[in-house]
Amino acid sequence: MRTGGLFLMHSLSSPSSAASLNLKEGTNWWWDVNESPVWQDRIFHLLAVLYAVVSVIAVIQLVRIQLRVPEYGWTTQKVFHFLNFLVNGVFVFRRDAQNMQPEILQHILLDIPSLAFFTTYALLVLFWAEIYYQARAVSTDGLRPSFFTTNALVYVVQIVLWLVLWWKPVHVTIIISKMFFAGVSLFAALGFLLYGGRLFLMLQRFPVESKGRRKKLQEVGYVTSICFTCFLIRCIMMCFNAFDDAADLDVLDHPILNFIYYLLVEILPSSLVLFILRKLPPKRGITQYHPIQ
């Protein structure tokens, strides 16, 4: 009976032990991959290839638009695709940037793509705001100055943070810089929600039988949802990154986490938006299509 009781107790405790063992093995696997130089190289190169593909798609679309409407200069749509090409293309040099000395150069070179990513998609918000106000016969004269002022303010604040970090590289300054990026991402998310939502509701009031209305409604709805979610996730992750070293957005130190992060907040959103906005502008009778002054 004693032997049987011991056997029964072992049997009852074995599932818990097995679960603990599996959890430990899973945790070990995660850290083994993170600490492996081979896996760090593989994941970085995979991300670099994915970014390069998105960059090539953006520049192909830019060329297609230029061939379709060569008589127009740098329109909002062209600039949007050109910035997508640059933002996604520079990821290939991220590893070199992370090894730069002095350290302030690392912060500058790693922050610039994030700033450019904000500007790229803020341009899309501007484009939709212009369409919305023009459709309502409201003057759009103040939109572009507001766009440039907002971007200039973001860049000036970031430059000040870089100078402070260079003058006195304390941890608090790094936290403030990351929280600033979180705030910028939240601002972009709210911009998509505001103007994308307004444009979506306006299109809903158009005649149901309008084919163009249905396509534009789907386009605005999809892009608004994608970009709002993308920038909201970016905001949340930057907040974690500011206070938790385990959430550091460093591809070399946290390859698995960063693969998921960059896939969700940059590669997939950029790919989907480029696919949804793949339609070329008409050759004649163009409205809502103005060069940037």
Could you tell me if residue 29 is inside a domain?
Answer: no
Tell the residue number behind the tokens 């996730």, with chain if given. 233
pTM score, two decimals?
0.79
At 291 the three-state DSSP class reads: strand
Tell me, what's the pLDDT at 103?
Answer: 76
Do 281 and 78 contact (CB within 8 A), yes or no? no
Residue 30 within any structural domain of the chain: no
60: domain range? 38-276
Number of Cβ within a 10 Å radius of residue 70: 8
180 lies in some domain: yes
What is the pLDDT tens value at each position of the chain, 293 positions in all? 444 554 444 444 445 554 454 445 545 766 777 777 788 888 889 999 999 999 999 999 999 988 887 777 788 888 899 999 999 988 888 877 777 777 778 778 888 888 999 999 999 899 889 888 888 888 888 889 999 999 999 999 999 999 988 888 788 888 888 899 999 999 999 999 999 888 888 888 776 566 666 777 888 889 999 999 999 999 998 888 888 776 677 666 778 888 888 898 999 999 999 998 888 777 755 444 454 44
Residue 96 inside a domain? The answer is yes
**How many domains does the chain divide into?**
1
Judge whether 6 lies within some domain: no
CATH number at residue 239: 1.20.1070
| Residue 76 domain-assigned (yes or no) | yes
User: Is 112 part of a structural domain of the chain?
Assistant: yes
pLDDT score for 40: 81
- What is the four-CA torsion angle of 160, 163, 169, 173, rounded to 10 degrees? 0
Helix (H, G, I), strand (E, B) or coil at 54: helix
- Please report whether residue 214 resides in a domain: yes
- Give a three-class secondary structure readout of 64-126: HHHHHCCCCCCEHHHHHHHHHHHHHHHHHHHHHHHCCCCHHHHHHHHHHHHHHHHHHHHHHHH
